[in-house]
């Protein structure tokens, strides 16, 4: 989808059109985007249609349940994240001259941490930085590092991230993995890794950090793991365990966020103890604005217990 840089036509592609396109694409529907933005649906449709006319490309395919991206739409969406992030950074940079936390910042975190910390985080952010806006994005750690590199997120909470030159990593605290069992199938006392070989496990997809840690430790110890079900959602995994479908190996935060704790038995895993480190991760190339510095300090205080 080549754009003719410097032409008059390019100048008519404005930020409002790009922002509208991103909202519609990410919500998969004009009606949902209209509700979120508080704008009439026909106005959004006109914005996207004007964008398609200017770029001479169909960006969205309309269907009965909403819209889906064309190939050109997918490519434009990737560019939009970078363009809008650069605009936001420019605004923050100008505001930084006043040493005032203003602008927009996006924090990415795993779903279990989001459930535990979103409410206190938003309350504190609203009180401490009233002129700034906050977005919280949920995803597994492996996805969050990609979002930080692409500019979709400004700060991320990541379990045991891979060290990369493009990322700055600050360890916050260690978290141990535990065996999570149905309440009526609890083993007596701490369990050694070798005792887990006969248990049926419900685990996240490959690449998710808790699974990587368990499989690495099991491989080192020569212990085979019976993974009978793969489920990406941690709450769904805990629902399955509480229903007696199998066992899980998860961090303490994931268990703490489950509303029906009495249905579960949580047992420490020993010999070896398996730990992950929760880290605050930021893109190394981004300049530390007052908003980013204040938000990072707030996260360290609320999530990492750092005063």
Tell how far CA 185 is from the center of its chain: 33
Collapsing DSSP to helix, strand or coil, 272 comes out as coil
Collapsing DSSP to helix, strand or coil, 164 comes out as coil
**Residues 68 and 202 reside in one and the same domain:** no
**Residues 270 and 283 reside in one and the same domain:** no
The yes-or-no verdict on residue 305 having pLDDT over 70 is no
- Rounded CA separation 176/271 (Å): 13
Average pLDDT of span 101-122: 90
The yes-or-no verdict on residue 257 having pLDDT over 80 is no
What confidence tier does 6 reach under pLDDT thresholds 50, 70, 90?
very low
Q: Is residue 28 part of a domain?
A: yes
Instruction: Please write the tens of the pLDDT for every residue from 179-189.
Output: 999 998 888 77
Task: Give how many domains the chain has, as a whole number.
Answer: 3
**Residues 20 and 76 reside in one and the same domain:** yes
Q: pLDDT value at position 7?
A: 41
Instruction: Please write the tens of the pLDDT for every residue from 31-61.
Output: 998 888 888 899 999 999 999 999 999 999 9
**Residues 260 and 239 reside in one and the same domain:** yes
**Residues 179 and 192 reside in one and the same domain:** yes
Dihedral (Cα; 37, 42, 45, 46), 10-degree rounding: -110
| Domain end (from 50, 80, 110) | 80
Q: Is residue 235 part of a domain?
A: yes
Q: Is residue 307 part of a domain?
A: no
Instruction: Please write the tens of the pLDDT for every residue from 273-289.
Output: 888 899 999 988 877 78
Q: pLDDT value at position 243?
A: 93
Q: Is residue 17 part of a domain?
A: yes
Report yes or no: 276 and 161 within 8 Å, Cβ to Cβ. Answer: no
What confidence tier does 2 reach under pLDDT thresholds 50, 70, 90?
very low
- Rounded CA separation 204/225 (Å): 13
**Residues 156 and 272 reside in one and the same domain:** no
Q: pLDDT value at position 273?
A: 87
**Residues 248 and 183 reside in one and the same domain:** yes
Q: Is residue 31 part of a domain?
A: yes
**Residues 254 and 179 reside in one and the same domain:** yes
Q: pLDDT value at position 96?
A: 59
Between these two residues, 95 and 164, which has the higher pLDDT value?
Answer: 164
Q: Tell me the DSSP string of 166-203.
A: TEEEEEEEEEEEEEEEEGGG--SS-EEGGGGTTSEEEE
Report yes or no: 245 and 229 within 8 Å, Cβ to Cβ. Answer: yes
- Domain of 245: which CATH number? 3.40.190.290
Backbone angles phi, psi at 113, to 5 degrees: -70, -35
Report yes or no: 225 and 251 within 8 Å, Cβ to Cβ. Answer: no
The yes-or-no verdict on residue 83 having pLDDT over 80 is yes
**Residues 114 and 162 reside in one and the same domain:** yes
Average pLDDT of span 86-104: 73
Q: Say what percent of the chain tops pLDDT 70.
A: 93
> Which residues make Cβ contacts (< 8 Å) with residue 134, sequence separation at least 6?
104, 105, 106, 107, 121, 122, 125, 295
- Rounded CA separation 299/137 (Å): 14
**Residues 287 and 265 reside in one and the same domain:** no
What confidence tier does 111 reach under pLDDT thresholds 50, 70, 90?
confident
| Domain end (from 40, 56, 80) | 80
* Structural domain for 64, as ranges: 8-80
The yes-or-no verdict on residue 93 having pLDDT over 90 is no
Q: pLDDT value at position 4?
A: 44
Between these two residues, 90 and 121, which has the higher pLDDT value?
Answer: 121
- Rounded CA separation 215/196 (Å): 12
- Rounded CA separation 179/267 (Å): 5
| Domain end (from 80, 100, 134) | 80
162 token code pair: 């891979």
Q: Is residue 188 part of a domain?
A: yes
Q: Is residue 125 part of a domain?
A: yes
Instruction: Please state at what angle helix 15-27 crosses helix 30-37, rounded to 10 degrees.
Output: 120
Average pLDDT of span 57-78: 91
- The b/e string for 132-167 (b: 16+ C-beta within 10 A; e otherwise) is bebebeebbbbbbbebbeebbbbbbbbbbbeeeeeb
- Domain of 93: which CATH number? 3.40.190.10
**Residues 253 and 237 reside in one and the same domain:** yes
- Rounded CA separation 284/249 (Å): 32
Q: pLDDT value at position 112?
A: 85
Average pLDDT of span 62-86: 89
**Residues 223 and 194 reside in one and the same domain:** yes
- Rounded CA separation 133/240 (Å): 37
Q: Tell me the DSSP string of 72-99.
A: HHHHHHHHHHHHHHHHHHHHHHHHHTTT
The yes-or-no verdict on residue 123 having pLDDT over 70 is yes
Chain mean pLDDT for the chain: 86
- Rounded CA separation 198/295 (Å): 45
Instruction: Please write the tens of the pLDDT for every residue from 208-245.
Output: 888 888 889 989 889 899 999 998 888 899 999 999 99
Q: Is residue 1 part of a domain?
A: no
What confidence tier does 97 reach under pLDDT thresholds 50, 70, 90?
low
């Amino acid at each position: 989808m080549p754009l003719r840089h410097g032409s008059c036509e390019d100048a008519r592609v404005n930020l409002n059109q790009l922002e509208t396109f991103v909202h519609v694409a990410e919500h998969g529907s004009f009606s949902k985007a209209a509700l979120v933005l508080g704008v009439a649906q026909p106005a959004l449709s006109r914005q996207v249609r004007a964008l398609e006319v200017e770029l001479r490309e169909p960006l969205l395919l309309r269907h009965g349940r909403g819209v889906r991206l064309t190939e050109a739409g997918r490519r434009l969406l990737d560019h939009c994240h970078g363009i809008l992030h650069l605009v936001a950074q420019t605004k923050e940079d100008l505001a930084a001259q006043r040493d005032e936390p203003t602008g927009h910042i996006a924090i990415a975190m795993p779903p279990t941490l989001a459930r535990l910390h979103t409410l206190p985080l938003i309350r504190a952010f609203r009180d401490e930085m009233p002129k700034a806006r906050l977005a919280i994005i949920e995803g597994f750690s492996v996805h969050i590092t990609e979002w930080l590199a692409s500019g979709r997120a400004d700060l991320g909470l990541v379990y045991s991230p891979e060290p990369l030159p493009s990322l700055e990593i600050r360890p916050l605290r260690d978290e141990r993995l535990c065996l999570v069992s149905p309440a009526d199938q609890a083993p007596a006392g701490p369990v050694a890794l070798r005792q887990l070989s006969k248990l049926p496990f419900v685990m996240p997809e490959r690449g998710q950090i808790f699974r990587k840690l368990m499989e690495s430790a099991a491989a080192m110890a020569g212990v085979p793991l019976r993974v009978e079900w793969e489920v990406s959602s941690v709450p769904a995994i805990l629902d399955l365990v509480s229903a007696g479908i199998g066992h899980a190996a998860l961090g303490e935060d994931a268990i703490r966020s489950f509303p029906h704790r009495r249905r579960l038995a949580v047992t420490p895993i020993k010999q070896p103890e398996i730990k992950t480190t929760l880290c605050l991760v930021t893109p190394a190339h981004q300049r530390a604005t007052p908003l980013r510095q204040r938000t990072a300090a707030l996260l360290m205080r609320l999530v990492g217990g750092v005063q």
